Structure 1
Amino acid sequence: MEENSGDDQLFIPQVADDRKPKIGMKFASLDDAFSYYNQYAREAGFSARMSNSKKQKMTNEVVWKKFVCFKEGHTDELRWMKHVKDAQPKQERARGEVRTGCKSKISIVKEQTGPNWVVSTFMEIHNHPLSTPSKVHLLRSHRNVSVSKKALIQQFSEANVPICQQMRLLEIEYGGPEHVGCTEKDIRNCEKILRDEQKGIDAETLIEFFAAEKDKCSAFFFDYETDSDNRFSRCFWADPVSRMTNSVFGDVVVFDTTYNTNKYGMIFAPFVGVNNHHQTIVFGCGFLSDEKTESFVWLFNKFIEAMPKGAPNVIITDQDPAMTKAIAQVFPQVVHRYCLWHILNKFSDKLNPVTFRDYYQSIKNVIQNSTTPNEFDKSWEDVIKCANLEKNDWLLLMYELRQKWVPAYCNHVFCAGISSSQRSESSHAFFKKYVSNKNSLMDFITRFNRALRHQRHNELVADHIDLNECPKIKSKRPMETQMVKVYTKKKNG
């Protein structure tokens, strides 16, 4: 270290001479030259960056380039230049001063008669302290998210591993934060860049993906539509496994929509059912830009087109008016049931607190335990009269709609043990473990498919248990023992 005639101190990097750039040194390319200078900068304890260049007027080819210390220039000057360029000042991020007017640099010039680049200037003295080896990995030019790390980060992201945990895993893999080669902030920026790359092309990428799936397997079904401005507005897809599953278990379908699965606010609309293990299964899925009747009509028609079984025998939904209207139009012969769970939950809002406290259990008992329509009608009239609720508008409306939600009116129809859209809501909850409102459409599909694989693996586990275990006898009565023998014989035969 040396001192000049002024107040500033000068700092000379402690690097072996054979590792320093020298005037006359040759490189095959600009990248090779910067790589060499950046490696020197790492050993010296500073960060390097590319600076000015000159081009040949006739060919517009770069013939001179300068690499400098990251503290070259002055912050105030840079801000002024940025404001002039942008015409209007912008709010600056609060951060410490970095630039000190450091003169350390290297210049390289293109040979006139050869392909090489030659070092023409080298200044190694700095006007600021240099980083120690324990801190040099934090300098900008020595941090890099490599191709392999980007692939790993993408996999972590698909598995919903938070960035802070991604960093911990990388630290374990590489033996400490100083050996990872990047910081947590770099990983966040990398993920943001990956998301930004999808802007404007996400819908096209999704359509291309579905088309590729169709090319790989003709049994894959998908269709989509755009609006009057040629913007992606809705789609439906079903893979071969879902379509085959529908042919076996498609008698009863539960349909509901949910939000917050992607960053565009597209509405996720899955069609689900249950299998022989009473596990939730997916028949097909849609994306909608709105919940208008015409959107549901389009989606339901695509469902019928895709499914081998066609329309189901029963469809269970909430009380959405647009959905109800679309079902009446597309599924006129299908039994449409409203979700009993949703209706029961509304009683606390539709009744005053005292009436709810005193009579809800009695009303609920009438709804759930009436065995015939006549029994329900009589019991309902009695309990409503007892509670002085004869003029409650909501209860009057629900009574008019009783054939759509009261079990006594639906017991004659096979519903696979489902009485509410909770089956669909539990499916939403399951998939939301994998997706979020930050996902692009392609991010969603990647994560959704992984969730679907997990769901189907659970079905394989249940099949495996059925194959290798006999049902446990609870009562030890002869009839139960006989039924276990019949089940085992049928299973093995």
Structure 2
Amino acid sequence: MNDELHIPQTANDRKPEIGMKFASIDDAFEFYNQYAREAGFSARISNSKKNKMNEVVWKQFVCFKAGQIDEVRSKNRASSGGPIKKRARGEVRTDCKAKISIVKQQTGPYWSISLFTECHNHGLSTPLKVHLLRSHRSVSAAKRVLTQQFSEANIPTCQQMQLMEIEHGGPESVGCTERDIRNLERDMRDEQKGINAETLVEFFTSEKEKNSSFFFDYETDSDNRFKRCFWADHKSRSAYNVFGDVVVFDSTYNTNKYGMIFTPFVGVNHHHQTIMFGCGFLSDEKTESYLWLLNKFMEAMPTRAPKAIITDQDPAMTKALAQVLPKTVHRYCLWHILNKFPEKISAVTFREHYQSIKNVIKNSTSPEEFEHGWKDVIRPANLIVGSC
């Protein structure tokens, strides 16, 4: 029996021993996890028991591969009518028996080891790979701050990991993987998105109070996360009344920080200057989202539908336009059309015949004129162009 209170210090301190004491459950798990890292396996918290006062008096820590194998779980799900899910990777659970149990001392606020099973029924990880196991990976507070700074500077995650590996002397010393950093970035985006979404709505509400002609609306999903919004100020709405015959609707702008799609509605005034009619943010490019956005646009511009609208070749957007603006002439943006040609023909051929291709697309006034001109372009250029 070991009556000395044990304080976890280093990863290679020593093996667990029955009777070893700890000040808390966290200290006990930290010690077992350090031992697991040295031994080459991942640890996790398992079962617990409570007394009549609803206090935890017994706790168990096990090897991560403890428990039933996935095939048994799949059979259990199948027998209960649940779906059978096949794993593409190897089995996670091997019913490993390695574990320790700790019990709370009656004579003091201490915990002691009551059971230690050392043997595993699977191979253990090597020192060079043990850092990849789940219980030995964590993103520290310092790395969280550093990741946030990297993200704000638009440094890709893969480059962030390279910098951390250089700083810590190798991937095994970083303490986390690239996936951990990506998950952290996702969580920070969701957290920041919620805060900034509230700020955005507050700003819109403030603008509406200043000028009743300011229009905005937004939606959240079932988890109350910001999903989409549209807004147009009084100047934009007035400009649409004069110059709204032709509208350009573009959804090719993505925000790096929040992963949302910026969708401006723009036009051209009598000075050939680009003017804004309204703006939106979308969390996806589904037909449902475009239907919502186009309906809000028409709600903000109730005078009339545009005579023509120019978009990229997004199928979901095309479908939505046909439903919301059935009488509006829909045209695809020339830049997006021409941008697809290098995918169909060689760059050299496209560069040599670019002007001819552009002229026949831009200046044809009827389908018949286009077909005739297109044949004249293809023949000398010897082009084989698929559907663009």
TM-score range, shorter chain: 0.5 to 0.7
**CA distance in structure 1 between the aligned counterparts of 2:216 and 2:122, rounded to whole angstroms:** 62
Cα distance change, pair 86–207 in 1 and its aligned pair in 2 (3 A): farther
Cα distance change, pair 169–281 in 1 and its aligned pair in 2 (3 A): farther
2:102–2:112 CA contact under 8 A, matched in 1: yes
Decide which of 108, 116, 119 is 1:122's aligned counterpart. 116
**CA distance in structure 1 between the aligned counterparts of 2:293 and 2:64, rounded to whole angstroms:** 56
Letter in 2 for 1:94: A
Structure with greater helix percent: 1
Q: Which residue of 1 aligns with 2:301?
A: 300
Matched residue count: 310
Matched, 1:351 2:351: no
Letter in 1 for 2:367: K
Decide which of 79, 83, 89 is 2:77's aligned counterpart. 83
Letter in 2 for 1:123: T
Which consecutive residues of structure 1, in runs of 5 or more, have no partner in the other structure?
1-14, 305-314, 327-337, 361-493
Q: CA deviation at 1:255?
A: 4.3
Structure of higher RCO (CA pairs closer than 8 Å, 6+ residues apart): 1
Q: Deviations over 1:93-128 (max 9, x none)?
A: 122245444432211112335433222222334454
1:255–1:272 CA contact under 8 A, matched in 2: yes
TM-score (norm 2): 0.57
Decide which of 91, 104, 113 is 2:98's aligned counterpart. 104
**CA distance in structure 1 between the aligned counterparts of 2:121 and 2:332, rounded to whole angstroms:** 74
**CA distance in structure 1 between the aligned counterparts of 2:249 and 2:325, rounded to whole angstroms:** 10
Which consecutive residues of structure 2, in runs of 5 or more, have no partner in the other structure?
1-10, 282-288, 312-320, 336-359, 378-388
Structure of greater Rg = 1
TM-score (norm 1): 0.47
Letter in 1 for 2:59: K
Q: Which residue of 2 aligns with 1:224?
A: 217
Cα distance change, pair 71–294 in 1 and its aligned pair in 2 (3 A): closer
Superposition RMSD on alpha carbons, in Å? 5.4
Q: CA deviation at 1:137?
A: 1.0
Matched, 1:175 2:165: no
Matched, 1:256 2:258: no
Q: CA deviation at 1:142?
A: 0.6
**CA distance in structure 2 between the aligned counterparts of 1:103 and 1:339, rounded to whole angstroms:** 64
Percent identity over the alignment is 51
**CA distance in structure 1 between the aligned counterparts of 2:261 and 2:133, rounded to whole angstroms:** 44
Q: Which residue of 2 aligns with 1:26?
A: 21
1:11-410 alignment, distance < 5 Å: 18-56=13-51, 58-75=52-69, 79=73, 83=77, 87-112=81-106, 114-150=108-144, 152-153=146-147, 161-190=155-184, 208-213=198-203, 223-224=216-217, 235-237=229-231, 255-259=247-251, 268-272=262-266, 285-287=279-281, 289-290=290-291, 294-300=295-301, 318=310, 345=362, 347=364, 350-352=367-369, 355-356=372-373
Q: CA deviation at 1:170?
A: 3.1
1:100–1:127 CA contact under 8 A, matched in 2: yes
Cα distance change, pair 48–281 in 1 and its aligned pair in 2 (3 A): farther
Secondary structure of the residue aligned to 1:37 is helix
1:448-459 alignment, distance < 5 Å: none
